[in-house]
Amino acid sequence: MKKMVDCINWKEYHGLNGWMMFCSAGAYGKKLTEDEAAACGCTAIQRTRCKKIMENNVGFGLVPEIVREQMVEKKSSDREPVVLR
């Protein structure tokens, strides 16, 4: 079956009670920068469509928050590694 939404964050699987469809970025509270959102096609219109699909299938929907570059904290990969001795 083809995915309803073509996005790296969109997850679909068949559970015991039917199909589960959700945005993993929204489910885990991830904040996307404007560049990351543009790269995966997460526009305001697409977020609205995704939220409607989730509400129809699961009962509620969570979509990621889009923020500016300056508002994003440094990711753990950007930090200096810890040396254990």
pLDDT digits (tens, 9 = 90+) for 27-73: 999 999 999 999 989 999 999 999 999 998 888 999 999 998 765 55
Rounded to two decimals, the pTM is 0.70
One-letter identity of residue 57? N
Domain that holds residue 54: 10-69
Q: Report the distance separating Cα 64 and Cα 67, nearest Å.
A: 10
Pick the residue with more confidence: 23 or 17? 23
Give the DSSP letter of residue 84.
Answer: P
Q: Report the distance separating Cα 50 and Cα 61, nearest Å.
A: 8
Is 77 inside any structural domain?
no
Is 82 inside any structural domain?
no
> Nearest Cα to 64, choosing from 40, 28, 11, 39?
28
What pLDDT does residue 15 have?
Answer: 85
The tally of domains found in the chain comes to 1
Is 74 inside any structural domain?
no
What pLDDT does residue 11 have?
Answer: 92
What pLDDT does residue 17 have?
Answer: 82
Q: DSSP 3-state assignment of 29?
A: coil
CB atoms within 10 A of CB 34: 12
